[in-house]
Amino acid sequence: MPASHAATNSVLPRRKGELTAERILDAAEDLFAERGYAGTTIRDVSAAVGIRNPSLYNHFPSKDALYAAVLERGISPVLAALSAVGAAGAAGTLQNPGELVETMMAQLAERPKLPRLIQHEMLAGGERLSPMLRAWITPIFEQADHVAESGPAALRWEPEQLRLLVLAMYNIMVGYFTIAPLYKELNGIDLLSPTMLEEQTRLFSEVVNALFGALASDGGD
């Protein structure tokens, strides 16, 4: 269902098998994001795809494997994008911390169901948490350490506080997407509309820059 994936279908009419697998992934992503792992049944997924229950096992060996595949497909590109920006930052070209925020917001905006998926998994707790999600959250903290040591934020915050500020920004962004449906229902405003997303991205970016004391305070630099 996600536009990005559906789009690939129309472009690359791959072998029928892969097509079905991808349709399964799409449906599963929706349902896992909406109801979590325990709340989603193989039958629900099959029904959403329009196949019978056992056919799903021709494409994924188990519910667990399907879940892992959904996480993998969903999180990988986000991680990649973040890594790219992070690498740039590590190489000294990260102009401002807000850029990380903008990248992440852009990535999540493309897959608005993803944050719910991640939140569900995060709630599932420490041990059960997929290694992929550990890989997702760890580099974010490392970014914080990097910035803490070298950036202008070091002037304002303790290193440890910085890690927690990063955590806070993570929570802000993921929570923003997670809460969007409810927010729309309560306030009538669609947080996922392009306008709002753009605006919020700018706001979060500003906040990050303000808190991390990025270029703004550096003035003419």
Partner DNA sequence: GATGAATGAGGATTCATTCAT
Partner DNA sequence: AATGAATGAATCCTCATTCAT
Give min distance, CB of 127 to DNA, in A. 19
x/- map, 64-83, DNA, by CB under 7 A: x-------------------
Count of other CB atoms within 10 angstroms of residue 33: 23
> Using CA atoms, how far apart are residues 147 and 151, in angstroms rounded to an integer?
5
Q: Are 122 and 128 in contact (CB under 8 A)?
A: no
Q: Which is nearer to a copy of itself, 88 or 132 (CB)?
A: 132
Task: Tell whether residue 135 is a contact of a copy of itself (CB under 8 A).
Answer: no
- Summarize the chain as % helix, strand, coil (round to 5): 75, 0, 25
71-83 CB burial, b ≥16 within 10 A, e <16? bebbbeebbebbe
Q: Which is nearer to DNA, 23 or 111 (CB)?
A: 23
Please name the amino acid found at residue 176. Answer: Y
Q: Are 23 and 45 in contact (CB under 8 A)?
A: no
Q: Which of 20-28, 85-93, 100-108, 121-129 is the region at the interface with a copy of itself (rule: CB under 8 A)?
A: 121-129
Which of DNA, a copy of itself, none does residue 193 bind to, with CB < 5 to 8 Å depending on kind? none
In the set 54, 125, 188, 194, which binds DNA (CB under 7 A)? 54
Give min distance, CB of 210 to a copy of itself, in A. 8
In the set 46, 107, 119, 205, which binds a copy of itself (CB under 8 A)? 119
Give min distance, CB of 157 to a copy of itself, in A. 9
